[in-house]
Each structure stands twice: as C-alpha cells, then as structure tokens.
A = this chain, B = another copy of it.
Amino acid sequence: MTETAAARQSEMILSDQDRRGLYRAILGRRDVRGQFLPDAIADDVLARILVAAHYAPSVGFMQPWSFIIVRSPDQRARIKAAFDRANTEAALMFDGERAEKYRALKLEGILDAPINLCITCDRDRAGPVVLGRTHMPEMDLYSTVCAVENLWLAARAEGLGVGWVSIIQPEALRAILGLPEQVVPVAYLCLGKVSHFLAQPELQNSGWRQRLPLQDLVAFDAWQGAASTEDDALLAALRHAQDKAAMGEI
C-alpha cells in the first residue's frame, strides 16, 4: 500500500471543509432546463465528472455503464423531435389548470446545452450471473443511476448544470443512438455551463409541488413503525438539519 493510500485509509471522517463541500454540492444541485449557456465545456472538467460517475457503486463491481457524448446537431435535433412528440402526449394526461401549468414549463435544454450525454446500462457486461444481482435483477440499472447522481453532483461542483430528460420514448432513444438489445438507456442528460443556479427547485418555485417534511417520511422497524420516546432526539435533529438545509447549509 502506498503512503498516500495508508493516509487516506486512516482518514475516517472527512475534514469539516471537505464535508461542507459535499453538502454544498448536494443542496445546490438543480435539474437545469432553462439556464444553459452555449459555452464549451473544458476537457479536464468533462473528464473529472465522467470519472466521478465511473466511481459509483456497482453490483458485483459490474460497472455496467457507458457514456455517449452527443454533440452532433443532427442527432440532437432527432432527440428533440422525440421529446416534442412525448411531451405533447404527456401534456394531454393532465387536466385543466394543471395542464396549462404543465405546458408553460420548460422541461429540457437539448439544443441549448453544448453537450448531451446518454448514460446506458449494458446488462450483459459481466455475463448472465452477477454477484448481488441474483435476487434483484434491477440492481445493474440502479448502479447506473448511482453513476448519474455522482456525475450530477460533480457537475454542480464544477459549475455545470445537468438536466435529466425523461419525457421521451426509450425506444426512440434506442433507435437514434443505435443501442443494442442488451443496452438500456437509463438517463439522457443535458449538460453545460449555466447563467445561474436557481435557489430552489423549479417545480417548487412554480408551485407545482412542495418539499415534504422529512420527519413524515421516517419510520422505525417497519412501514408503520411509530417513533418511541427514545427517538425524540433524532426527530428533533431531523427538524434542525432540515431547517439548516433550507438555508443552504447543513
């Protein structure tokens, strides 16, 4: 083991500053749709965020992900058309005022962002039997989502916005990108510098939906397991941490 590795291993808790950095990325991360700038992304920055994705956890150390960097205007125009078709269908699923609100939202930055990135999952990457996937076959897809989240946080730290485009037929993505049968398009992302990051999620700002109180989402020992008096301190700590998070720190 190198000295660096040994030093790292003994560093059990990250320093206050390092922890603050992680929490800032988590609290400041946004799903960006409307604030992209066309500026190019530096190669070293793009490389770092891809490495962050590659260091995600993966079931059986399978590393099932691939990264398709989409820059061609023709390819992006095809993706945009597929989004438009799906989005028109989606708008019809909402009623009245909600449908009106839906149509007013900008939900993608496919042509605005300088780079699109499709993160895929190759379900055959490590053969048919994968350690840890034997009883939960979706684990490789979940690993790929962990890579998406790592990349998203690293992008935020590097000042890049990411928007996840999920209003699209997976079969359209498959056809446009030429994905083989065993490869699942998990996330289609728009990626680029931004004019600014919103202080709150856009759907919160627009009144679409509010942040839920975390203490309502916590149970003990079972789905309906209520807190006992010995959990009072934890529930108080939850409310305190949540109040601080709403101010951008934790």
Binding site for B on A (CB under 8 A): 1-2, 4-6, 8-15, 17-29, 31, 43-44, 46-48, 50-52, 54-57, 59-63, 65-72, 75, 86, 89-90, 93-94, 102, 105, 107, 120, 126, 129, 131-136, 138-139, 141-142, 145-146, 148-150, 152-154, 156-159, 164, 166-170, 176-180, 183, 186-187, 194, 196-199, 201, 203-204, 208-209, 211-212, 214, 217-225, 233-234, 236-238, 240-242, 245, 247-248, 250
Contacts and interface: CB of A to CB of B under 8 A. Distances in A.
Nearest to A196: B9
Contacts of A250: 48, 51-52
Contacts of A199: 1, 5-6, 8-9
Contacts of A248: 4-5, 8
B225 A135 contact: no
A169 B153 CA distance: 31
Contacts of A62: 209
A54 to B, nearest CB: 5
A42 to B, nearest CB: 8
Nearest to A86: B135
A60 B94 contact: no
A51 B248 CA distance: 12
Nearest to A244: B51
Contacts of A222: 68, 75, 176-178
Given A55-B245, A152-B57, A134 B17 contact: no
Contacts of A48: 23, 241, 250
Contact of A23 (B44, B54, B154, B183): B154
B169 A135 contact: yes
B131 A238 contact: no
A129 B63 contact: no
Given A5-B248, A180-B223, A201 B54 contact: no
Contact of A217 (B44, B54, B61, B153): B54
25 contacts: A1-B199, A2-B247, A4-B248, A14-B158, A18-B21, A19-B21, A22-B25, A22-B157, A43-B234, A44-B240, A50-B238, A51-B214, A51-B238, A51-B250, A61-B209, A63-B217, A66-B218, A68-B223, A126-B209, A131-B208, A133-B166, A135-B170, A142-B142, A142-B145, A142-B148
